[in-house]
A and B are shown apart, each in its own frame.
Chain A
Amino acid sequence: MDTELDRISSLPGHVLDQILSVLPIRDAVRTSALSRKWRYQWSQIPQLVFDTQCASITSPDQTIVKHYLVNIIDNVLLLHNGPIYKFKLSHRDLLGVSDIDRWILHLSRGSTKEFVLEIWKGQRYKLPSCLFSFENLTHLELFNCLLKPPSAFKGFRNLKSLDLQHVTLAQEVFENLISSCALLERLTLMNFDGFTHLKINAPNLQFFDIGGIFDDVSFNNTSLLTLVSIGLYANVKNDRHVSRGSSSKLLRFFVNLPHLRRLEIQSYFIKYLAISKVPSRLPKPCMDLNYISIRINFNDFEENSAALCILKSCPNLQEIEMLGRPEEQADVEPQTGFWGDDQWKCLFGQLRLVKIVGISGIRSELDCIKFLLSNSPVLEQMTVKPASIEGGWELVKELLRFRRASTQAEVIYLEP
């Protein structure tokens, strides 16, 4: 009678795997006490996720916590029977202990495809060399780790996605890693140290997202790159004497990104791009670029020129976002007449949406808004959000006056 009513156990194996994979690891393992059919069902699930929710123990003694977690993972790995395609370890209380080496060694004997390791606290965890022998790896995600691959390391042949945050690796290690993973499509890099030159040689790269402190970024053989988001977290001192001789960083940046679709210039990166001579326009327009976001100091002449140069070279922009850096704008003598100059005429034939955020109502900001409004015949919406309440009313008064090329355009003032 029971077998007639028991519908779930007769589902095909891969479906049961799926159900068990969705469960937190604890519940999945507990199913082994259900019935004969379920006894070893969990041991074949292809993914193991150990995160803060799966096991928590509060104890003032870190050793107890560590032993508890290590015990759980040891036991699950021992009892597990089958390939482990995805392994994630991200527990708040587990520091970079040497047990992790042992688990990575165990995984390296199998065919793990996705490996995620997040060390929440403590110093950088040095990855064991056996990690670099994961042949089938397609996704690698590391947080707070130190990478030092063995000299024989030839790259992850199948790696498509790489996410490194708060990592330390040497310059040549980084370059080798990128260039040897030929299939790499996505690269995320946040808060790194040990290297300052970003030489990106990745023929299949499509998605590039970095934020950190670096001296130089150059793309080589990256014609498939469509999404780039770069944040330079350190203020670049614009040393005129040094930069005069060198070639324009702006030109070098765009020369190898012919098919760029989305570009985000965050933090101080526009300052980097403004180093040395900024042309009035790029030699080749970015025809595919349809979204751009720039964090800019509206009072800085170089930054404004760089931004204008980029905007003029992207005729097919559909969405623009300009974010002010109000903390800087107060210091410098306000620039005037930059954007308002009539010779900066350019047509944004596709521009539909503009967002201006964090402005304080100074002349160059208003000129920029005026410039955008008068050059976008199909604009549908512009939202303006000041950095603070002060001067809000003045800003609104000015906005009211501006001529708009698009009859459909809405200019919306958002409260700060």
Chain B
Amino acid sequence: MSEVDMAVIKPEMMKSYIWIQTMDGAIQQVEQEVAMFCPMICQEVIQKGMGSSKNCAISLPQRVSPAMLSLILDYCRFHQVAGRSNKERKSFDEKFVRMDTKRLCELTSAADSLQLKPLVDLTSRALARIIEGKTPEEIREIFHLPDDLTEEEKLEPLKNTTDDPRIRLLNRLYAKKRKELKEREKLKDVDAEEEHVDDRSVDDLLSFINGGDGDSKGIKTSKNKKKNRKRKDLQKCAPSNEAIETPKKESNAASSLCHNAEVDHELQSSLSEKLKLQDAAGEIFAPTVEFDDVDIDDEIDPALKEEIDREVEDFARILNSDWPERMQELLSLGQERRLTHLSVNGNGALKGHASMPSFPL
């Protein structure tokens, strides 16, 4: 070891050394003043009197591998010199953390176990810089994170097992949306002839599944409408409205299709699916508010209306094409709560979306 060599070559320097044992059993000598920069080692020497000879070598925590120890000692060796300027130290730090993320994580862990706070700060900031501004997929790739959130969990970053007022809010919102959907179809019956058949099937579909639900929910929505009149402008101007509208329609149908007593759960999932479409966890930063009780029935601008109509038609077409088979499957499979993926058969409208409301398959 170079330290030992130095001790032999320059005996007049009288550097004291302490003995350190890493987790692989190897014992080495380290300059005392360098090693004492680490609080944990310092503690061992002062409080327990360890490290003075090979027999009582200070054994380092598991997380400090020999390679990491070497890096940490380099850091300590530089910084324990008193005369360095802030600029020098900063420059050293910047160069020091340039390493692959795997080693950076290991170094953070090792520094933390030695209680070397300045180094932990430095490496934490470096890791944060890596994370900043990247999408979840990118981050998962860099850090080899398992993609182990179930679709459901990915879609709902919020855990709502209790009777959360937001769930009630969501229910009302969806009820309103469903009502709106129905009304829109009714309106379109007046204008468009070709779509007439499709709309009616969707309409029938909904009423067939919902039974009396649609109506009762409809009553609720009108109450809400009065309350939220003043919040209308919010929905109007939100740029990503179109994207939201589409999945909501589909999920409405989805939730209605699933014979399910736990309506809350379905709505939640359908909402979550929408969330995922716009980057789940970051959803709360999107201009449009899912949790808002927004009155959308009247004041949507024409461009938006067209979008909505288009999406409805698309969806209706899909449903109608697959419907006979699906109905069979659904009826035979009965009431399954868990939603799984809907595999889309190359239908243009649905392709754009990363995930869809699932039907029990």
Contact = CB atoms under 8 A, between A and B. Distances in A.
Contacts of B102: 5, 7
Interface string B89-124: 000000000000110011011001000000011001
B39 interface: no
B147 interface: yes
Given A7-B105, A24-B132, A33-B154, A64 B234 contact: yes
A337 B144 CA distance: 78
A10 B132 CA distance: 19
A27 B131 contact: yes
A31 B281 contact: yes
Interface in A1-57: 2-3, 5-12, 15, 18-20, 22-24, 26-27, 29-39, 55, 57
A67 interface: yes
A34 B136 contact: yes
Given A6-B145, A18-B120, A61 B281 contact: no
B284 A79 contact: yes
A63 B287 CA distance: 12
Contact of A8 (B120, B121, B125, B127): B127
A30 B121 contact: no
A12 B62 CA distance: 14
A71 B287 CA distance: 8
A18 B121 contact: yes
Nearest to B238: A64
B140 interface: yes
B49 interface: no
A71 B284 CA distance: 7
Contacts, number: 124
B213 interface: no
B237 interface: yes
A151 interface: no
B284 A76 contact: yes
A407 interface: no
A372 to B, nearest CB: 29
Contacts of A343: none
A6 B143 contact: yes
Interface in B262-286: 279-282, 284-285
Nearest to B164: A78
A217 interface: no
A199 to B, nearest CB: 39
Dominant secondary structure at the B interface: helix
A33 B145 contact: no
A59 interface: yes
Contacts of B292: 71
A208 interface: no
Contact of A15 (B120, B143, B285): B120
Nearest to A54: B285
B5 interface: no
A72 interface: yes
Given A31-B281, A68-B287, A19 B124 contact: yes
A206 to B, nearest CB: 23
A19 B128 contact: yes
Contacts of A64: 233-234, 237, 287
Contacts of A2: 144-146
Contacts of B132: 23-24, 27
Interface in A95-138: none
A22 B112 contact: no
Contacts of B136: 30-31, 33-34
B109 A30 contact: no
B128 A35 contact: no
B105 A61 contact: no
B109 A34 contact: no
Interface centre among A9, A26, A67, A76 (most CB of B within 10 A): A67
B104 to A, nearest CB: 9
B212 interface: no
A75 interface: yes
B282 A34 contact: no
Nearest to A60: B237
A36 B282 contact: no
B149 interface: yes
B112 A11 contact: yes
Contacts of A57: 287
A8 B131 CA distance: 11
A300 B137 CA distance: 69
Interface in B232-274: 233-234, 237
A20 B237 CA distance: 32
Contacts of A31: 131, 136, 139, 281
Interface in B135-190: 136, 139-140, 143-149, 153-154, 157-158
Given A5-B144, A35-B148, A67-B234, A19 B131 contact: yes
B173 to A, nearest CB: 15
Nearest to B283: A75
Contact of B112 (A7, A15, A67): A15
Nearest to A22: B128
B133 interface: yes
Contacts of A7: 101-102, 105-106, 109, 143-144
Which of B121, B139, B140, B285: most chain A Cβ within 10 A? B285
Nearest to B150: A36
Contacts of B157: 32-33, 39, 79
B145 A12 contact: no
A34 to B, nearest CB: 5
A11 B144 contact: no
A33 B279 contact: yes
Nearest to A9: B145
A404 B136 CA distance: 68
B56 interface: no
B291 interface: yes
B289 interface: yes
Nearest to A18: B124
27 contacts: A8-B127, A8-B143, A10-B109, A11-B108, A11-B112, A15-B109, A19-B128, A22-B125, A22-B128, A26-B285, A29-B284, A30-B136, A32-B157, A32-B280, A33-B280, A35-B140, A35-B147, A36-B146, A36-B153, A38-B145, A39-B153, A55-B285, A57-B287, A63-B233, A63-B234, A64-B237, A71-B292
Closest 8 pairs between A and B when the two form their complex, measured CB to CB: A7-B105, A5-B144, A75-B284, A22-B128, A33-B281, A32-B281, A2-B146, A35-B145
Interface of A: 2-3, 5-12, 15, 18-20, 22-24, 26-27, 29-39, 55, 57, 59, 61, 63-64, 67-68, 71-72, 75-76, 79
Interface of B: 101-102, 105-106, 108-109, 112, 120-121, 124-125, 127-128, 131-133, 136, 139-140, 143-149, 153-154, 157-158, 233-234, 237, 279-282, 284-285, 287, 289, 291-292
Given A19-B128, A33-B282, A36-B153, 15 more contacts: A7-B143, A8-B143, A9-B145, A15-B109, A18-B124, A19-B131, A23-B128, A31-B131, A32-B157, A33-B280, A35-B147, A57-B287, A63-B233, A67-B234, A71-B291
